[in-house]
Amino acid sequence: MRKLFGLFIGILLLGSCSSIDCPVENLVLAHYKFYDAAGDSLILYDSLSVMITKKDGVKDTVLNKMTEKSSFLLPLSYSQPEDELVLDFWNGKDHMYDTLWVKKENIPHFESIDCNAKFFHRLTNVRCTIHCIDSVVIKNSNVDFNNATVHFYVYL
């Protein structure tokens, strides 16, 4: 009887294991890529720093003094309907600042009780100041685990 009870418990434990694996690449990041006026991919040789404005109005530098980059990846907030990013372009002598406002819908994403909760996003609008940036276009409005997808074309 004792062996039968042990076998029953073993089968019960095996059956309760989750068969869903959490994704390894589970960062939800927006991809910003730079282009020139002709629509060709552009590499920034000036230094670029990116700051995000938090709910309380404080700016937090998230990327600092990037050089020789053609794109960057940043997470979007999941508690605000609009994110504000300040881009600081520095050529060694002068700073030029542009601000991007990204409107989005935050979509809760659930895969398994074993995995952390994540938020996907649907981009609805983007606007910017035009000091160094000419315009910004939403190329792909769905932000999810696929970080290779370019979401924003930033024309300088």
In this predicted model, what pLDDT tens digit does every residue of 55-70 receive, in sequence order?
776 677 788 888 899 9
Q: Tokens for 45, please give them.
A: 């040789």
Segment (H or E) for 5: helix 2-15
Q: Which of 6-15, 105-114, 123-132 shows the lowest per-residue confidence on average (mean pLDDT)?
A: 6-15
In this predicted model, what pLDDT tens digit does every residue of 41-54 receive, in sequence order?
999 988 999 998 87
Q: Tokens for 121, please give them.
A: 């996003």
Q: Which residue has the higher pLDDT, 86 or 25?
A: 86
pTM for the structure as a whole: 0.80
pLDDT value of residue 13: 47
- Placement of tokens 């990327």 in the chain: 63
For residue 144, what is the DSSP state?
A: S
Return the closest-CA partner of residue 98 out of 114, 107, 86. Answer: 86
Give residue 58's identity as a one-letter amino acid code. Answer: V
Q: What's the mean per-residue pLDDT of the chain?
A: 85
Q: Are 104 and 123 in contact (CB under 8 A)?
A: yes
Phi/psi for 23 (5° steps) reads: -65, 140
**What confidence category does residue 120 fall into, taking pLDDT thresholds of 50, 70 and 90?**
very high
**What confidence category does residue 17 fall into, taking pLDDT thresholds of 50, 70 and 90?**
very low
